[in-house]
Amino acid sequence: MLDIKFIRENPEKIKQTLHAKKAQVDLVRLLDLDQHRRNLLVKIDELRAKQNAANDEISRMIKEKKDSKEKIAAMKEISKQVDVLEPQIKECEAKLETLLLGIPNVAHESVPVGGVEKNKVVRSWKEAKAFDFVVKDHIQLAEWLDIIDFKRGAKISGANFMLYKNEGARLERALFNFMLDVHTREHGYREVFPPYLVNTASMTGTGQLPKMKDDMYRVEGEDLYLIPTAEVPITNIFRDEILKEEDLPIYYTGYTACFRKEAGSYGKETRGLIRVHQFDKVELVKFVKPEDSYAELETLVANAEKILQLLELPYRVIELATGDLSFAAAKCYDLEVYAPGVKQWLEVSSCSNFEDFQARRCQIRYKGKNMKKPNYLHTLNGSGLALARTFVAILENYQTSAGDVVIPKVLRPFMGGKEKISRT
């Protein structure tokens, strides 16, 4: 959520943000409500000042044994006016908050302006492998090796759900264990294992609600949603709390399954693992001081890149333009890995700085010895990594002419020392 004062003072910038992120919010109505609320607050402050003065006057008159009936009657009239104004203020604030929750975050000044066409490749790592045979895609490989059962996954749950099996299930487990070990042992993250179900307050705090309500799975009859990413429960660990400045920065990593409806026909028509309703992911979340957040973003990206480097997968880093940023992000880098079987660059991580946008919605602040009052901290997160597409990239980049898949060296200790997955 943006500071109302910032919106009030920068209406043109907000208009540009609404246009860039395709958000539908009546800014004129919002600013009118803000002005109306401030007018009401001025009135009620004036009335309360009169109440206080009247109380003092009545106390003085009683001590002096003077008749205070008229003063008491006048004070009661003031109290009635206050009673009328208080619900008006609450109603106005509720309407204002509803509109504020629909305002997306403003892009950082360094972000390229424009749509997807303005996204910029910042760097690439490792050339795509040259094969001397006709490569298979991950669907063909998974079925040949009997490591994913697409048909039974769909039978159990529906389209775009997978049943990993045999060495496929083991490889999936190896991947998230490997990622967690790297992030905790080498990058300084503390591991958590959060709930998969969260309440409305948590989803609102990180910005998934109300905007992306249609993409979320909700438990009917309960205030619970299946998480679209571990970003939601991990960021909400400190909701409504004031942290100590000396405890910052705080880094958390956690593995969870993630659940997304993928609303729209493209989700139903995409075969394989590229777009699914349930997938595993290792998340990285940072709570930092505002002045450190952009340096922390670069480190966050490097942490996610390290996983791809250890897996020896070709990838590129994309700086997203204003029109391609998520609702809550101020700046974002996508990591895309190349999959030769489907001949596509696949996003396996988005690393974002939200500045104080999520912290305001979650009411996460910090206080230092030299600070007069608590300040909002900055939150960041990124995938470290999303496993479904990383799984795709491993199958397709490590395939052999015989249809086997060589296991990346760093994963072999998690696979019992096995060097490749073969058809049995």
What 3-state DSSP class applies to 228?
coil
Cα 288 from Cα 265, distance rounded (Å): 39
Is-catalytic flag, 347?
A: yes
- Residue 208: closest CA among 62, 76, 403, 354: 354
Can you tell me the distance from the alpha carbon of 375 to that of 214, in angstroms, rounded to the nearest whole number? 33
Q: Which of 260, 296, 352, 361 is catalytic?
A: 260
Is 202 noted as a catalytic residue in this protein? no
Q: Is 8 in the active site?
A: no
Residue 275: active-site member: yes
**Residue 37 annotated in active site:** no
Please list the alpha-helical segments (H only) found in 64-197.
69-100, 138-145, 150-156, 166-185
Find the catalytic residue in 37, 167, 172, 275.
275
Return the amino acid letter for 99.
L
Active-site choice (93, 347, 360, 412): 347
Whether 247 and 294 have beta carbons less than 8 Å apart is answered as no
Among 133, 125, 127, 126, residue whose Cα is nearest residue 404: 133
Provide the sign of the torsion angle of the four alpha carbons 36, 39, 43, 45, taken in this order. positive
Three-state SS for 316?
strand
Q: Which of 350, 361, 365, 383 is catalytic?
A: 350
Structure tokens at 419: 């060097």
Question: Parallel, antiparallel, or unpaired for β 241-244 and 364-367?
Answer: parallel
Classify burial at 420, counting beta carbons within 10 Å of its beta carbon; exposed 0-12, middle 13-18, buried 19 or more: middle
CA distances from residue 276 to 58, 95, 273, 282, 310 in whole angstroms, order as listed = 71, 36, 6, 16, 25
Active site residues: 260, 275, 347, 350, 389
